[in-house]
Structure 1
Amino acid sequence: MDELDKKVTGIFDGKVVRKDLLHRIKKGTNVPTFVLEFLLARYCASDDEAEIQGGLEAVLETLNDNYVRPNEANRAQSKVATKGKYKFIDKVHVNYVEKDRRHWAALENFDSRRVAISEKFYRDNDRLLQGGLWCEVTIAYNEIEDDDYAFYIEDLRPIQLSRFSFERYCEGRAQCSRDEWIDIVLRSVGLEPSKLAHRIKMHFVARLLPLVEPNFNFIELGPRGTGKSYFFSEFSPYSTLISGGQATKATLFYNNQRKKIGLVGFWDTVAFDEVGGIKVKDPDTIQIMKDFMANGRFSRGVEVIADASMAFVGNLDLSVSQIVNSEVYDLFQPLPKEFDLAVMDRFACYLPGWEMPKNSSDFLTSNYGFITDYLAEAFHYQLKQTNRFEEVSKRIRLGSSVEGRDEKGIKKTVAAFLKILHPDGAPSDEEFHEYVEYAVECRRRVKEQMNKRKSDDEFAKINLSYIGADGKEVIVYCPESKSATATQEPIRRDIHSDKAPDKPVKATLKSGPGVTHDPITTDIADTPESPSADEPVNEKLKEQHYTIHYGDTGFSYESIIGPYLYGAKSIEIEDPYIRVTHQIHNFVRFCEAVIKTPTVRKIRLVTSYDGDTDVTKMSENLSELKQSLLELDIELEIKVNEHMHDREIRIDNGWTIKIGRGLDFFQKPDSWFGIGANDLSARKCLETKVDIFKHGSF
């Protein structure tokens, strides 16, 4: 133990743990850090080596007996069945299943999606319903044969602290210097501060800012392997890390069909991993995201207010030197095209990920730090209960180039630093100005990139500054771009000039004296932009009447109806033969084609059945589809009419499509492992007529 270890163990007895113990156990297991430290705090809260060794053995034994590994699900279920009940450590999700009209728990590694759960558990722990929670959970076996489930949850305890005193936390902070506190925070996330330069320490602290400041918009782009996503995936149980593919407004913000708020209502921080891979099908998602990033509120029929911060992390594929000295590229290059200047302008802090060291065991600490969950509780308390913005506003003085969103972003960044590093009170003037300078730099990095993208001077005031203690104005620069002319003075092209820009456009690269590079060449004039999927098709749609002949290929639901769906919000399909499994599969594929039109909100199916139909199976299959569509904020209404015979698709934009055979016009493939088994456009068709014509809206 060094001096800081002795100090922190004395002040925060029982709230700290030796981080090398975590590193020892972490290898070879996919258990989140805060779960492991929960166990280490229980069994290894000592500085006696013999007790620690015994505690480690207890932790390993607990993991061996109670942690369910994904490949041991069958053994775990058998253990419950034979013993009657058993306690596990697992991640628990709770889902409402409409066809059953009840909630079911799903245990991730126990591998059961139909575990009965009492209302009190998900009522007291909302995050069970949104993303799930790691818990100590006692699973019991249901002996009642008439029930349709085998297991139920007898007891559940989220792996979090049961009590947290912010006053005690602040009293402990008051006994440490600012630099000691930075080192304690870094050791708490597993890093050894003695091996890091002060600026890198500040970068690591900055990664924590979205965890303490509400509605804080953060972005970090940089090389792979620097641990960008770790802070959001494992450090705090109040943060969730999602992939870009989940970026739907129903998942993130509000599901109109369920009348339920999305992830922003349940988590302190919603982080997007691999931000360049975000796929946005519905332009409304970005508009709602803009509203939420601006002020923490949005409207989707109801007014929703939430505190969640949004963090975006991703990778840069070009060197920073190339980018800042290029007239073509900017440091927002990896972002999806839907992230326009309005989204970028809402980022308060752009962390220079290229300055962060690569993950290495050399930077791991073997000293004491807070139990991860303890620090996470402190951050959660501050995000919900404390406000340092007014304190910063009264103390900070910014230069004339700082505009509205610049000021807000800078102040929120400084306020977040105060929450992390000075929870007990105000910093000195020197410390305060250090945070201001860092915040101004992080906001300038955002503004420089917007200025490169904009063809006019809307964002030209990039020389952001603050007034120091001596009353002098201090202009802050970003180290990577300070001497890059292409970033500081980007070329403005006259949009009214008839003369096309020279092509190819060459961007000179500069990365230091004596260093040369081949220029990046981009042939702008010869690179046509592909039309957006959300833009209307210019070709005027016409009525059509044609025959699909027996054995024809090249037809699919999407190719037939897709062009006629533009602007559609509601679709009604009448087809009496959506009964048996393969017909319902056809309808699922039809729905998959429809949902590619982002404006669709409702699908109405009118079908029928006869005496040979397995109505129970039909109902179950359609209910599963209905549930799946609800997750995409699309309502499926099903009506059964026993005497119908017509087949017709009506779209509320005025088009009607009649297919003589309805949806069932494909031949059964010769082999389910041959071409056409999955791609309908490659499958042979039965003969049928198709009529597409205008009608009045229904």
Structure 2
Amino acid sequence: MNDEMDDTAGQGYRAPDAAGPAPRPGGMTPLDRRINEAFPGVVVRKDLVKAVKGNAIVPTYVLEYLLGQYAATDDEASIRSGIEQVRNVLRDHYVHRGENRLVQSRIREKGRHRVIDKVSVALNERDDVYEAEFSNLGISRVEISSEVVRKHPKLLTGGVWCICDIVYAHSGDPKEAPWRLHSLKPIQLSNLDLDGYQATRARFTTDEWIDLLVQSIGFNPELLGARAKLLHLVRLIPFVERNYNLIELGPKGTGKSHIYSEFSPHGMLISGGEVTAAKLFVNNSTGRIGLVGYWDTVAFDEFAGRKKRADRGLVDIMKNYMANKSFSRGVETLGAEASMVFIGNTTHTVPYMLKNSDLFDELPEQYHDPAFLDRIHAYIPGWEFEQIRGEMFATGYGFVVDYLAEVLKSMRDLDYSDRYREHFQLSADISTRDRDGIHKTFSGLMKLVHPTGRASCDEIEALLRAAIEGRKRVKDQLVRIDTTMTPVRFGYRGADGEWSSVPVLEENEYPELYRRGTPSADVADEGEAEASGRGRNGVGASAGNEEGARSGAAGDAAGSTADGAVPAPTDSAPAVSELEEQHLSFRDGQRGFSFDRFFGPYLRGATKVTVADPFIRQPHQARNLMELIETIAKVTDDATETGVHLVTKVDENPEHARKQLANLEMIRTSSAVAGIGFDYEFSDTIHDRSISADTGWLIVLGRGLDVFQPFDTDWLDLRLRQQRYRQVKEFTVTYMRRDQSR
């Protein structure tokens, strides 16, 4: 390709003249090194895309295709040289729309020129020839051979990015276009070793592999929790699973459409209001099949909007296709394998939707139909994704997206939907349609995370729970919408017969609102769950359930008020002696946790509090400690002297240790304002994490105070002042009474 690209020197788009991106701070990570060693030639440093893109409106997979040709290496000098070559290719061959006439002139003067452009093809029925149109170059009626069209049929549906040689040959006939297509090469991988890809997976742990996939789609895994990473991977399932129906609704700016517009040459993103039955399925006048016949994934952007109107006939065809993989607009019934993705913005918060309607509330009326919604296999909670910020983009190494896209396409033939059955059995009252949704989501996640189809029992369980939750979110809302539907008990049994219930996260966060006006299969079956020990994460095992709401801290340790607001400790909270011993677990990504709510009642009236946490080192960990002291100040008498003693470890890095000491001294000074005496000591042997108070209570912290996921620390961010709006990491809290006489 190098020789081919160097044979012309047009005057198209010119990229910035910067020398290239700076080396990554701190150099390559151990995972980056392992990635480069395991997948030479098909991985790229993800921050390079931004370095070469400039103002060129080119999909990521096109840029990474070029970077894969020139800069797929870990050598900084080679990377800089490769970036310069890619910039030269873009400068000389990418057609910027504002310079299309200049490029046309260059083609005429030189006679032949190579361009990178989006090419679409249509049949000229009058002359019985196929003609190509070049999106940026602005030329059309370029004759293209039937053989090329047969080889690349997607040229007929929406267009494909290609590298093309254009020849200028004016014949003198005003009816004949002077442009001739000498060669056309779609930008995509030419070969794939799937067996090598699957075998090399064994060189990575599951966590490392997930991080590699997350980096490959462009995000920094260090800023994402385990649950957030898995949700990002669910977005990829339509590319690896045939006829998969997925919906994601959430706030603006969370990257919902990025995957479907930038990630794969096998996906098509269209506006939800711009599609017709002829374009999507089949054109009755020509008999030509629509988008579902050519693309692996068809994503509908801007799908939400109550005031939008949709063609009822189109909705009916979609319902049949989503259920049966077939469609008919005449006498002939056709089939296709394209997955359907529906993405849209929400304008209301989750508690508002749960209180006033349902989680499908934003959809147009024609799609707010139980028969249509029941065909959706999984619902991604878009409100759990962070707003996209600059630091969230990956700087590490990941697969060239075109390579990964071809891997996923080749794995659509595989079926891993039964790989859980050796260890687990789904609830018997899960319907066939619910089971199909769970199976397809589970199969897709297995292909992504465990491409060989082999995984440990714990690894399989984690993916099975995610698959069940995705379908449960759909079904629970259907029960709200259609009162004739019966609630389903979503869960599974292990090989030992132990029952595990699977709640959705918003069910934990807003239990009263989630179950408002609808019967709960899980609550109705509480007796069976209790008889089997309530399972790993059963009804009584996690914060947010009804039993926790009755007996939790401050009388509402895991519940919420009727309007969905999380109550802070007040003077009417129960006395310390009325609190109960209990164990609470919090799921990754859950909101609603705060020190006020879960620690405050147990620290009320304390005069001495000891905090044992070996990890009060980084600035955000010092902030957590200061917020705990703020809680203590709220629940203690201003006229009583209160002491807080910290036991922690000194940071091993001397520079970090100096900052750690400075932060602790600042906490000492700040605490004095509230009449709290703060002191600290360092211990080399400390391991356990706890809060103990002279109220007689010991709070055992599974993760210490560092329970919150990273978030923007801008002072205007509400999460900085209100912990309950932050997402948490997975952790546990155990409350133990040390002095029963109090």
TM-score > 0.5, shorter chain as reference:
yes
| Candidates 352, 369, 387, aligned match of 2:415 | 387
User: Match of 2:507, SS?
Assistant: coil
Matches within 5 A, 1:386-405: 386-392=414-420, 396-405=424-433
**1:512 counterpart residue number:** 566
Aligned residue identity for 1:229: S
**1:346 counterpart residue number:** 375
Q: Does 1:212 align with 2:266?
A: no
**1:308 counterpart residue number:** 338
Aligned residue identity for 1:458: M
Please give the alpha-carbon distance, in whole angstroms, between the structure 2 residues aligned to 1:149 and 1:192: 49
**2:203 counterpart residue number:** 175
Please give the alpha-carbon distance, in whole angstroms, between the structure 1 residues aligned to 2:321 and 2:146: 31
**2:319 counterpart residue number:** 290
How much has 1:491 moved relative to structure 2?
5.9
Matches within 5 A, 1:28-427: 28-146=55-173, 148-276=176-304, 282-300=311-329, 301-324=331-354, 326=355, 328-339=356-367, 340-383=369-412, 385-392=413-420, 396-427=424-455
Flag the structure with more relative contact order, 1 or 2, with Cα contacts below 8 A and sequence separation at least 6.
Answer: 1
| Candidates 465, 468, 471, aligned match of 2:494 | 468
| Candidates 13, 17, 20, aligned match of 2:44 | 17
Please give the alpha-carbon distance, in whole angstroms, between the structure 2 residues aligned to 1:442 and 1:206: 9
User: Structure 1 residues 93 and 394 mapped into 2: Cα distance closer, same or farther (>3 Å)?
Assistant: farther
Please give the alpha-carbon distance, in whole angstroms, between the structure 2 residues aligned to 1:15 and 1:234: 18
Kept in 2: contact 1:410–1:440 (CA 8 A): yes
Please give the alpha-carbon distance, in whole angstroms, between the structure 1 residues aligned to 2:408 and 2:310: 34
**1:628 counterpart residue number:** none
How much has 1:392 moved relative to structure 2?
4.8
Kept in 2: contact 1:401–1:465 (CA 8 A): no
Kept in 2: contact 1:44–1:51 (CA 8 A): yes
How much has 1:441 moved relative to structure 2?
1.0
How much has 1:280 moved relative to structure 2?
5.5
State TM-score, norm by structure 2.
0.65
Please give the alpha-carbon distance, in whole angstroms, between the structure 1 residues aligned to 2:290 and 2:366: 21
How much has 1:508 moved relative to structure 2?
5.3
Aligned residue identity for 2:152: N
Please give the alpha-carbon distance, in whole angstroms, between the structure 2 residues aligned to 1:140 and 1:396: 62
**1:479 counterpart residue number:** 505
Deviations 1:155-185 (A, max 9, x none): 0001001111111111111222211110111
How much has 1:391 moved relative to structure 2?
3.8
Kept in 2: contact 1:221–1:314 (CA 8 A): yes
User: Structure 1 residues 515 and 36 mapped into 2: Cα distance closer, same or farther (>3 Å)?
Assistant: farther
How much has 1:51 moved relative to structure 2?
1.6
Aligned length: 497
Deviations 1:168-204 (A, max 9, x none): 1111112222111101111111111122111111111
Deviations 1:310-332 (A, max 9, x none): 001111100112112x1x31110
Aligned residue identity for 1:481: E
Q: Structure 2, unaligned stretches of length 5 or more? A: 1-27, 520-560, 571-742
User: Match of 1:234, SS?
Assistant: helix
Please give the alpha-carbon distance, in whole angstroms, between the structure 2 residues aligned to 1:377 and 1:145: 44
Please give the alpha-carbon distance, in whole angstroms, between the structure 2 residues aligned to 1:388 and 1:258: 38
Aligned residue identity for 2:494: G
Kept in 2: contact 1:392–1:411 (CA 8 A): no
User: Match of 2:248, SS?
Assistant: strand
Deviations 1:612-634 (A, max 9, x none): xxxxxxxxxxxxxxxxxxxxxxx
Aligned residue identity for 1:465: G
> What is the Cα-based RMSD across aligned positions, in Å?
1.9
How much has 1:336 moved relative to structure 2?
1.1
Kept in 2: contact 1:243–1:272 (CA 8 A): yes
How much has 1:279 moved relative to structure 2?
5.7
User: Structure 1 residues 336 and 14 mapped into 2: Cα distance closer, same or farther (>3 Å)?
Assistant: same
Please give the alpha-carbon distance, in whole angstroms, between the structure 2 residues aligned to 1:90 and 1:186: 28
- Percent identical across equivalent pairs? 40
How much has 1:109 moved relative to structure 2?
0.2
Moved over 4 A (4+): 277-281, 392-396
Please give the alpha-carbon distance, in whole angstroms, between the structure 2 residues aligned to 1:393 and 1:118: 51
User: Match of 1:350, SS?
Assistant: strand
Matches within 5 A, 1:539-550: none
**2:4 counterpart residue number:** none
Please give the alpha-carbon distance, in whole angstroms, between the structure 2 residues aligned to 1:298 and 1:139: 39
How much has 1:63 moved relative to structure 2?
0.5
Kept in 2: contact 1:449–1:487 (CA 8 A): no
State TM-score, norm by structure 1.
0.69
Q: Structure 1, unaligned stretches of length 5 or more? A: 493-506, 517-698
User: Match of 1:138, SS?
Assistant: strand
Aligned residue identity for 2:128: R
Between 305-314 and 466-475, the greater mean CA deviation after superposition: 466-475
How much has 1:416 moved relative to structure 2?
0.3
How much has 1:490 moved relative to structure 2?
1.6
Kept in 1: contact 2:248–2:344 (CA 8 A): yes
User: Match of 2:122, SS?
Assistant: strand
Deviations 1:329-366 (A, max 9, x none): 11101111111111110111101110101111111121
Aligned residue identity for 2:316: Q
Deviations 1:209-264 (A, max 9, x none): 11100011001100100100000001000000000122211111111111111101
Between 445-454 and 212-221, the greater mean CA deviation after superposition: 445-454
